[in-house]
Homo-oligomer: A and B are copies of this chain.
Amino acid sequence: MLKKLKQNVYEANLLLPERNLVIYTWGNVSGIDRKKGLVVIKPSGVDYEELSPDDMVVVDMEGNVVEGDYNPSSDLLTHLEIYKHFPNVGGVVHTHSRWATIWAQARRAIPPYGTTHADYMYGSIPCTRPLTQEETESAYELNTGKVIVETFEQGEINPDYVPAVLVSCHGPFTWGKDAFDAVHNAVVLEEVAMMAWHAEVIHNSQKMDDIPSYISDKHFMRKHGPNAYYGQKKK
């Protein structure tokens, strides 16, 4: 069943290591068939190089396995909560990609500092509050999904306009119209997170003295001036 969706979810999962978003088994992609009310997701803890499309696990909206030989990703209930509350989402990605996870660990939203961000995300990429001890000890993955939804509802953020969230102390979830689009947004998030990190730090930094201008003159002119002597004679 869901042969095409399994193939897509499988291929989208393989993009995670290919795009340097995960090492080992540190990520998972799912996709949904909204008509049938079924979700296809990566099995838990299986290496990407050993995956095949048929290893993908089919579950219903309560997380019951409908088809598949493996346990689904342990993050399954977080994925389902996103599908239930964000009706236009067709695919979900979770990774521990470096730069997005850095902001999550810093417990900070990623501010919109540039047009690369604005090309994909409308405003800050929010960071959830930390889960409480009770939320953590009971139904942790479900509650992770609930705190994501809470973040968007209380912040009045449109999940179609901001297809990404940072779970505090943990890492990113992204989504999109299908599994590939969700991976695309995970890649974009990583770039945006890396650039925001460095933009803020250098903005807050203090300029030092320029290179002495006579050294600058010397170097520019020995390559580009009328008496340039770098390289070989032009023919």
Query: Does A191 lie within 8 Å of B98, measured CB to CB?
Result: yes
Query: Does B215 lie within 8 Å of A115, measured CB to CB?
Result: yes
Cα of A113 to Cα of B220 in the assembled complex, Å: 13
Q: Which residues of B contact A195 (CB under 8 A)?
A: 98, 101-102, 105
Cα of A96 to Cα of B219 in the assembled complex, Å: 14
Q: How far is the CB of A132 from chain B (nearest CB, A)?
A: 9
* Residue total for A at the interface (Cβ-Cβ under 8 A): 83
Is A184 close to B, CB under 8 A? yes
Query: Does B113 lie within 8 Å of A211, measured CB to CB?
Result: yes
Query: Does A122 lie within 8 Å of B216, measured CB to CB?
Result: yes
Q: Tell me which of A59-67, A148-156, A226-234 binds B.
A: A226-234
Some 20 contacts from A to B, beta carbons below 8 A apart, are A45-B231, A74-B229, A74-B230, A102-B195, A102-B198, A105-B114, A105-B211, A106-B200, A106-B203, A107-B203, A108-B207, A112-B210, A113-B208, A115-B169, A119-B219, A120-B220, A131-B215, A137-B218, A169-B211, A203-B208
Other 11 A-B pairs with CB < 8 A, given A104-B114, A122-B216, A201-B205: A43-B232, A96-B116, A96-B191, A105-B113, A106-B198, A108-B203, A118-B211, A131-B215, A136-B212, A137-B214, A204-B208
Binding site for B on A (CB under 8 A): 23-26, 43-46, 70-71, 74, 96, 98-99, 101-108, 111-124, 130-131, 133, 136-137, 140, 161, 169-171, 184, 187-188, 191, 194-208, 210-212, 214-220, 222-224, 229-233
